Amino acid sequence: MSILAVGSIAFDSIKTPFGERDRVLGGAATYFSLAASFFTDVKVVAVVGGDFNHECERIFLERQIDISEIERIPEGKTFYYSGEYGYDLNVRRTLDTQLNVFANFKPRLSDASRHLPYLFLGNIAPEIQLSVRKQMRNPKLVAMDTMNYWIERTHHSLLEALREIDILIINDSEARELAGEANLIKAARRILTFGPHMIVVKRGEYGAAMFTSDSYFATPAFPLEDVFDPTGAGDGFAGGFMGYLAGTGNMDESALRRAIIYGSVMASFVVEEFGCDRLRRLTYGEIGARFKEFKAITHFEDIEFVHRAL
């Protein structure tokens, strides 16, 4: 089943200890839709400027992502972000942010889009997330991301948006901040009372965890010796997670767990190269092999141990 993905398309200038790249195509909607496109049909809702050229379009079209509802403002410029990672790739320093056309992003969905069954609300202002959510006609599943910026500055509208969604996909530290609770397990339980039926916590190099009111699942991350550029990992994760769920149409516990693993698989590929490079040349064989590797590195046999007699 199809996913509607709403979020940013950006040009990113990224510096890491391993190199730098100027103005590569990025943004939450880009990473999400590329990752999800391996599993299901995806339509992107975003806004771009005149600098979004055919080469940019091609990155979406070669994965048959529907870009017909990307709003184009020829006289404007696409959202621009510049950041730098140190050797601790968990910490990013922002050098420059130019919202450009993104500053006035007010998506109006087509009638066809309103009837799509899966909705992903990338990390944008909660009022926009809520407005998009309200335009949808009875979606089967709605997931959203957010970040510390919105938690701190638009707390009230963020809580409003949370009441209208099914799954919150959020970073570890941001889950703690949102809940005002240092213990992650307690933080997730508290966020569950805000509206979502499920919290998916992204923990970077430590993996991911999934909480509902009556279940818990966690996985370590795929062990990578070479993380080139962490940009987009979280959105690639969300794309793999939701793409798999939409692709199967199934949402039982067993499918949700596999979705967490496919999310982790896609995130692990995203960070192996700069920007979208790795996703563009990714194959189904590679995805399937890494899924199996996840099983190989996390499963263990349950054999009764012999108690020591005292």
Interface positions with its own copies (CB under 8 A): 37-41, 63-64, 87-89, 182-186, 189, 203, 205-207, 209, 216-220, 223-227, 244, 247-248, 254, 257-258, 260-262, 284, 288, 291-292, 295, 297-308, 310
- Nearer to its own copies by C-beta: 15 or 23? 15
Question: What's the CA gap between 58 and 173, in Å, rounded?
Answer: 35
Name 198's bridge partners: 167
CB of 78 to its own copies, least distance (A): 26
CB of 146 to its own copies, least distance (A): 22
Residue 216, token pair as written in the block: 């818990």
Question: What's the CA gap between 32 and 149, in Å, rounded?
Answer: 20
CB 147 within 8 A of CB 161: no
- Nearer to its own copies by C-beta: 123 or 268? 268
118 φ, ψ (degrees, to nearest 5)? -120, 135
- Nearer to its own copies by C-beta: 64 or 94? 64
3-state secondary structure of 47: strand
CB of 88 to its own copies, least distance (A): 6
Query: Residue 197 corresponds to which amino acid?
Result: H
- Nearer to its own copies by C-beta: 97 or 250? 250
CB of 168 to its own copies, least distance (A): 17
- Nearer to its own copies by C-beta: 75 or 225? 225
Single out the residue of 230, 200, 271, 292 nearest to residue 85, CA to CA. Answer: 230
3-state secondary structure of 12: strand
Single out the residue of 123, 133, 120 nearest to residue 259, CA to CA. Answer: 120
CB of 97 to its own copies, least distance (A): 26
